[in-house]
Structure 1
Amino acid sequence: MEKYEILETIGYGSFGCVYKAHKRDTNEIVALKMIYSIDGDEGVPSSVIREVSYLKEMDHSNIIRLLDVLDDDQILCLVLEYMDLDLKKFMITSADIAKKNQVIKSLMHQLLDGLAYCHSQKLLHRDLKPQNLLIDCSKHILKLADFGSAREISVPLQTYTEGEKVASLWYKAPELLLGGQKYSTPVDIWSAGCVFAELVIQQPLFDGATDFVQVIKVFSIMGKPNEETWPGVTSICDFLDSFASSEPQNLAEVVPGLEPAGLDLLSKMLCMNPEGRITASEALGHPYFDDIENP
């Protein structure tokens, strides 16, 4: 740790703090993610072990880089490349971003590019949200971060442990909200679609307080699914026939200001049936990105 001079606190995580720091020998600015809960019989949290192992294996311009891992008695420190803000703070400080279609288009292209890489490496992120997407403000570069909830994709699909942390509530795919334990890459696409809509309207698209309320909010906009639109949905453990029937709303009214090609892409990302959801690699080839600047 003597190699680094801590400059300021930039965030708080589940197990510790994140600091902006200066590396003394190279003058490089880095982020130090401190993990404090390493004592007794607990050991290193499994989410940290996963994050370190996954980041060590990944090499992509839209994935945060792990530069080093320091182990100092009761503290484990991940040395990461420094980014200015997370996407949530970027949206707050750039209040007019909704008017900058090319900025939104570039950010979404980078998000999907990083996600396509993860999926090609057989990895689910499982917690995409604005707070886990980091921004270099001067260059509008976006990078996926926080892989503590990530999991390897298995074929055939495995049954994941009930109660595992999978996606933050407002960005959780309907198959997860309904209690599904077999899922794959479409859960990340749904989360990315929620981020897409939030960039445009500057507020979360679905903001329920509980899983049940979140389901109702999703159904109220996207329509209540049935066996015709989503085969097998009524067999998912938490699906209730008593859910109020609802028809899909016009996305152009729900997400005003988004061009027709963007609305088409968003509708494909927020397809209720996970089997019908567009993939990240397919999304990169969508006409919405035809006029993107510096892809």
Structure 2
Amino acid sequence: MDTKNLLTEDTKSLTPVRKRSKWDEDGDELELSIQAPPPKRRAKARPSKPAVDPEPLLTALQNARRPSHRVFVPLRSRHPPIFPSRSVYSYERLNQIEEGSYGVVYRARDRQTGDIVALKKLKLEEEKNGFPITALREVHALMSCRHENVVGVREVVVGDTLTQVFVVMDFIEHDLKSLLSVMPSPFLQSEIKTLMLQLLSAVGHCHSHWILHRDLKTSNLLMNNRGTIKVADFGLARRYGDPVGVGGMTQLVVTLWYRAPEILLGATKYSTAVDMWSVGCIFAELLLKEPLFQAKGEVELLSMIFKLLGPPTSSSWPEYTTLPVSKTVTLPSPQPHQFRQKFQYMTSAGIDLLLSLLTYDPARRLTAEEALQHPYFSESPLPKHPDLFGSFPSAAAGEKKRKLFESPSAPARAPDYKLLTDFDLS
């Protein structure tokens, strides 16, 4: 067999057969011209310019267009400097004042300045989810509501372990609850007006800064020996928005005797009116020298409220029937309120202020700003100046009431008694 023919057949089987045309020859030349393009005409040489560095020019343009700081962000110099927390051993512990649900309060002395302060040790031993939200809310609320009638926070100090965190606050000698229990007689009307003005001013300030206290009571109102009260214990306080209570709020707030009826009846959306109901209960307690509603449970408390104020009606509280617990409560027969029998020595303006604070409908309940302008505070007797208040021994400071010295009896001359002139002094 011819080898040439075999090679030709193998080549045909491996390469596709393509007919050549008259464009093949020209196409070869075209491929050569594409692969090797003709050289470009060389341009005439121009004199070279000195190289310019663009960096300074770009920097100048950027500085001209961009301000020195963001318009909506304050300067760094306006931010307070951040320092590490001091040690709790900077204070000398003197004595324990009280222990509550959220911490233990001690009286201490600053070793550097000698100031007497209150140290609140936060209970962190049983916390499993990090720092408690109640403590964060308390510190945030106190820092947001700086007022002359709100207890002041000085700093937060720490101990040797992560569970030793202390909030340093101003030390106040008394709380109103303990003071009312040891006072021989209740406050005068002029003194009650002064205390109520301070309380309403502090509550109004907190509400204007969107803070609900949610645990106003006499034991959380501190009073010094200069007649000034300060709202304390913001453990249940929280920030709220407008509209109030979006998404629901917890009902486990406010000590029972000072709890508003809407919370007792299961409301999950409440407003600053819950604090104003507590203010009304405090007002009545200052007048009576004892709590107004001393109930053992929520049902008994509702019955005491209905007895004093009369049962709610569609005109006094239109939204009463929409509350969850209202369907399970049996209302007593209609009857007028018994405020005049309960507060016999109050003026008509005082009764009106108390009724305005203890109103069923939260929308009609008096606000702190409105209460401050009530005629009760401008009638006689006028509010007493705080400096004219009497002072009392401080139980928190470990002071005890001094015993009165027995006065000596009148002199009685005995038969053998000699006067000083009878002695020979020579």
- TM-score where L is the length of structure 2: 0.66
2: CA distance, partners of 1:267 / 1:40: 43
Q: Which amino acid aligns with 1:77?
A: F
Name which of 380, 384, 399 aligns with 1:293: 384
Deviations 1:148-205 (A, max 9, x none): 1112222112256565531110000111111111110111000000010011111111
Matched-pair contact (CA < 8 Å) for 1:97–1:103: no
Partner of residue 40, structure 2: none
2: CA distance, partners of 1:265 / 1:18: 35
- TM-score where L is the length of structure 1: 0.94
Deviations 1:7-65 (A, max 9, x none): 11111111331011111111101000011324663322211110011111221100000
> Unmatched 5+ residue regions in structure 1?
none
Partner of residue 168, structure 1: 255
Matched-pair contact (CA < 8 Å) for 1:16–1:33: yes
Q: Which moves more between the two structures, 153-162 or 263-272? A: 153-162
Matched-pair contact (CA < 8 Å) for 1:159–1:181: no
Alpha carbons of 1:244 and 1:40: their partners in 2 closer, same or farther (altered >3 Å)?
closer
Q: Which moves more between the two structures, 155-164 or 114-123? A: 155-164
1: CA distance, partners of 2:126 / 2:331: 46
Aligned pair 1:86/2:183, yes or no? no
Name which of 177, 197, 201 aligns with 2:264: 177
Deviations 1:231-262 (A, max 9, x none): 11111000136222342323121123323221
Q: Secondary structure at the match of 1:238?
A: helix
The count of aligned residue pairs is 293
1: CA distance, partners of 2:333 / 2:129: 47
Matched-pair contact (CA < 8 Å) for 2:251–2:267: no
Q: Which amino acid aligns with 1:125?
A: H
Aligned pair 1:116/2:207, yes or no? no
Deviations 1:43-97 (A, max 9, x none): 2221111001111122110000001111322111000000011110111122312
Alpha carbons of 1:204 and 1:214: their partners in 2 closer, same or farther (altered >3 Å)?
same
Partner of residue 237, structure 2: 150
Q: Which moves more between the two structures, 252-261 or 10-19? A: 252-261
- Aligned-residue Cα RMSD (Å) equals 1.7
Q: Which amino acid aligns with 1:279?
A: T
Aligned pair 1:56/2:143, yes or no? yes
Aligned-pair distance for 1:229? 1.4
2: CA distance, partners of 1:163 / 1:61: 29
Q: Which amino acid aligns with 1:139?
A: R
1: CA distance, partners of 2:233 / 2:199: 14
Q: Which moves more between the two structures, 167-176 or 243-252? A: 243-252
1: CA distance, partners of 2:153 / 2:377: 29
2: CA distance, partners of 1:12 / 1:175: 30
Runs of 4+ aligned residues of structure 1 deviating over 3 Å after TM superposition are: 159-164
Q: Secondary structure at the match of 2:89?
A: coil
Name which of 300, 318, 321 aligns with 1:213: 300
Aligned pair 1:251/2:342, yes or no? no
1: CA distance, partners of 2:247 / 2:185: 40
Greater share of strand: 1
Q: Which moves more between the two structures, 8-17 or 188-197? A: 8-17
Alpha carbons of 1:40 and 1:185: their partners in 2 closer, same or farther (altered >3 Å)?
closer
Q: Which amino acid aligns with 1:292?
A: P
Identity %: 38
Name which of 309, 314, 317 aligns with 1:222: 309
